[in-house]
């Protein structure tokens, strides 16, 4: 009997290890080939964001990228064709306002402007998303079949949940891609002339990002390369981990400010467009303070559960402004005054629609609501829910916001509304615990090791257990090893 048990154990272990390694390698690396170093091409993803630069003209980030070919991919309606026709044989012009008040004129010209991912993506080693978050899903699906191994995917900004959606939609090709997530835009910009000129109002001082390498062996140093592309400012910094970026994104700002300004609106048009940041009222500032505190509490809860996840980058919004706009803020006495006196926000108004009589009503279909709630506040709330942190201020904002949008996310204090599939909350992608979020940051080869370890453990346990019952259930361990190998590499 002891000989039979030993043989059964060894056989189960051997088959489990073999299947774990085989399935993991097959699923992850079956399409990888030895690749020669290629000239880095940049695909700047462009799309609609009504009222500002459609983010199409965020091609300004290419201000120091004149000697490398880069492509522009736009899936929005006929935007690519309109841009090509408008630009003609000319160069794109960036009017960059420096912090000292001087203007720096920069010119650049894309290698191609197209709506065809099969033309834009092949050969590219660096792909930068500059579209609003609601458009990311369409672009992920479009580029997935054409991704090169070891491509770097950049969200500039990523907006919360970018990593979850990227892992879910890019499939096998995405498993060797690095994911770079920036907390916000590097600057505010506005269209001068569509497809020809953009005005950059001023860069931030610093900008944080997180990098998940997964199975990527990048052909270039990632952060220095992106720094070179956007120029000397803002100074790019590396966050301790990807969850930090998801909790300090600036999409925490807009929904509470919209709620604080318009919660008591009587529906009547107003004579002028109210200032957005510089018109910040006391209620909105207090609400922002509370929401920001909830995010800090969430970060602390995550680090308490997993001490190796350094969440020091998740700081209060007031501290964030002091760090990122220290040269632009005139009054640092409190959060409200810091936002009201930030010169980078000079003249920025609430998103409004003009009425036939020349007055204005709030535009609740602007990205401050349609993007920053399902791809911002709901993601924050989802992470906080997994961390077990109460969020009354966030909930108050969400309940008003979902009513204005005609959506349902938060129901009876839980994220189980009928419209959750349009969000990027971790719950949508079947993250059910902090362990799931923690596990995502590790390289894929660690998943293989984990799968092997668990398979060996289960093989021994089930073999001994089955022999004790005189039943041939040891083969169950083999099937479990297949399941573990599959689930550990599903992302």
How do the pLDDT tens digits run along the chain, 491 residues long? 555 545 555 666 666 566 555 554 444 333 333 233 333 444 544 433 333 444 434 444 444 545 467 888 999 888 889 989 999 988 888 888 877 778 888 888 888 899 999 999 998 899 999 888 889 999 999 999 999 899 999 998 888 999 999 988 987 778 889 999 998 888 878 888 888 888 887 788 889 899 998 888 888 999 999 998 888 888 999 988 889 888 876 668 999 999 999 999 999 999 999 999 999 999 999 999 999 999 999 999 999 999 989 998 899 999 989 887 888 899 999 999 999 999 988 899 999 999 999 999 999 999 899 989 999 999 999 999 999 999 999 999 999 999 999 999 999 999 999 999 999 999 999 899 999 998 886 654 444 444 555 556 666 665 656 555 554 444 554 454 444 444 444 44
**Token pair belonging to 180:** 């770079």
Q: Which residues of 87-122 are buried (b: 16+ CB within 10 A; e: fewer)?
A: beeeebbbbbbeeeeeeeebebebebbbbebeebbe
Please pick, among 91, 254, 365, 438, the residue that the annotation labels catalytic. 254
β-strand 42-46 against 414-415: which pairing, if any? unpaired
> Can you tell me the distance from the alpha carbon of 436 to that of 432, in angstroms, rounded to the nearest whole number?
7
Q: Topology of domain 36-238, per CATH?
A: Rossmann fold (3.40.50)
Look at residue 32 in the predicted model and tell me its pLDDT. Answer: 33
Question: The whole model's pTM is what?
Answer: 0.74
> Can you tell me the distance from the alpha carbon of 464 to that of 426, in angstroms, rounded to the nearest whole number?
38
> Across the strands, what pairs with 329?
342
**Residue that is written with structure tokens 């020809």 in the block:** 196
Do the domains 36-238 and 247-441 sit in the same CATH topology, yes or no? Answer: no
**Residue that is written with structure tokens 């054409």 in the block:** 146
The answer to whether 365 is a known catalytic residue is: no
Q: Topology of domain 247-441, per CATH?
A: 1.10.1040
> Can you tell me the distance from the alpha carbon of 23 to that of 490, in angstroms, rounded to the nearest whole number?
11
Which long-range contacts link 337-341 to residues 24+ away (Cβ below 8 Å)?
Answer: 339/277, 339/278, 339/280, 339/285, 340/277, 340/278, 340/279, 340/280, 341/278
DSSP state of 270: B
Look at residue 390 in the predicted model and tell me its pLDDT. Answer: 97
Look at residue 7 in the predicted model and tell me its pLDDT. Answer: 59
Nearest CA-CA partner of 125 in 167, 73, 72, 178: 178
Starting at the earlier edge strand, list the strands of the sheet with 235-238. 112-114, 70-74, 42-46, 126-129, 152-155, 178-182, 206-212, 235-238
What residues does each domain of the chain span?
Answer: 36-238, 247-441, 444-487
> Can you tell me the distance from the alpha carbon of 228 to that of 189, in angstroms, rounded to the nearest whole number?
19
């Amino acid at each position: 009997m002891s000989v039979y048990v030993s043989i059964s154990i060894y056989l189960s272990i051997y088959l489990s290890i073999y299947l774990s390694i085989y399935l993991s390698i097959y699923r992850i690396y079956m399409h990888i080939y030895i690749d020669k170093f290629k000239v880095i091409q940049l695909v700047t993803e462009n799309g609609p964001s009504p009222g500002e630069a459609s983010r199409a003209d965020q091609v300004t980030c290419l201000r120091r990228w004149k000697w490398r070919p880069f492509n522009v991919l736009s899936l929005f309606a006929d935007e690519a064709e309109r841009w090509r026709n408008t630009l003609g044989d000319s160069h794109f012009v960036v009017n960059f306002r420096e912090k000292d008040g001087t203007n720096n004129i920069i010119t650049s010209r894309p290698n191609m402007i197209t709506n065809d991912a099969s033309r834009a993506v092949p050969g590219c080693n660096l792909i930068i998303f500059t579209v609003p978050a609601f458009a990311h899903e369409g672009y992920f699906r479009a580029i997935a079949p054409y991704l090169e191994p070891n491509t770097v995917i950049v969200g500039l900004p990523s907006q919360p949940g970018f990593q979850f959606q990227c892992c879910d939609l890019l499939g096998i090709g995405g498993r060797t891609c690095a994911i770079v997530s920036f907390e916000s835009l590097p600057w505010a910009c506005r269209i001068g002339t569509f497809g020809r000129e953009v005005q950059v109002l001023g860069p931030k001082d610093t900008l944080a990002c997180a990098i998940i390498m997964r199975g990527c062996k990048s052909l270039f140093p990632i952060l220095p390369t992106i720094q070179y592309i956007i120029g000397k400012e803002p100074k790019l910094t590396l966050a301790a981990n990807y969850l930090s970026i998801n909790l300090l994104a600036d999409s925490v700002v807009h929904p509470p400010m919209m709620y604080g300004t318009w919660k008591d609106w009587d529906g009547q048009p107003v004579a002028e467009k109210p200032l957005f940041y510089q018109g910040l009222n006391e209620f909105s500032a207090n609400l922002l303070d509370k929401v920001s505190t909830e995010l800090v509490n969430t970060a602390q809860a995550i680090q308490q559960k997993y001490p190796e996840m350094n969440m020091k980058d998740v700081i209060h919004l007031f501290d964030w402004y002091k760090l990122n706009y220290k040269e632009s803020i005139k009054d640092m006495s409190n959060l409200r005054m810091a936002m009201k006196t930030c010169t980078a926000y000079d003249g920025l108004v609430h998103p409004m629609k003009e009425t036939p009589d020349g007055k204005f009503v709030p535009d609740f279909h602007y990205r401050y609501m349609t993007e920053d709630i399902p791809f911002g506040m709901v993601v924050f709330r989802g992470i906080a829910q997994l961390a077990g942190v109460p969020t009354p201020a966030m909930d108050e904002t969400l309940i008003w916001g979902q009513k204005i949008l005609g959506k349902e996310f938060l129901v009876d204090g839980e994220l189980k509304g009928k419209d959750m599939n349009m969000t990027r909350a971790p719950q949508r992608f079947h993250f059910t615990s902090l362990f799931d979020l923690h596990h995502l940051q590790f390289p894929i080869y660690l998943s293989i090791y984990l799968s092997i370890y668990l398979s060996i453990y289960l093989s021994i346990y089930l073999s001994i257990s089955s022999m004790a019952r005189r039943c041939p259930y040891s083969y169950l361990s083999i099937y479990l090893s297949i399941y573990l190998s599959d689930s550990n590499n599903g992302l």
